[in-house]
Amino acid sequence: MKKYLFEFCKEESGQGLTEYGLLLVFVSIVSVVIVTQIGNKVAAAYYGNAANRLFP
């Protein structure tokens, strides 16, 4: 059992998949933050202009 555990800790075959998974999570989080920020700015610009046109 001890030998099996040692070999399991030493094995690196799943390391690449884990790194790609972490990279994918990081890119997803950054994308959500950027789209949220841009969306808020676009909404503020659009609704600000609409309000100015309706109530001059």
One-letter amino acid of 29: I
Q: How far is CA 53 from CA 7, 39, 43, 47, 49, in A?
A: 71, 21, 15, 10, 6
| pLDDT tens, residue by residue, 1-56 | 777 666 766 666 667 788 888 999 999 999 999 999 898 888 777 777 665 666 65
**For the chain, first and last CA: distance in Å?**
79
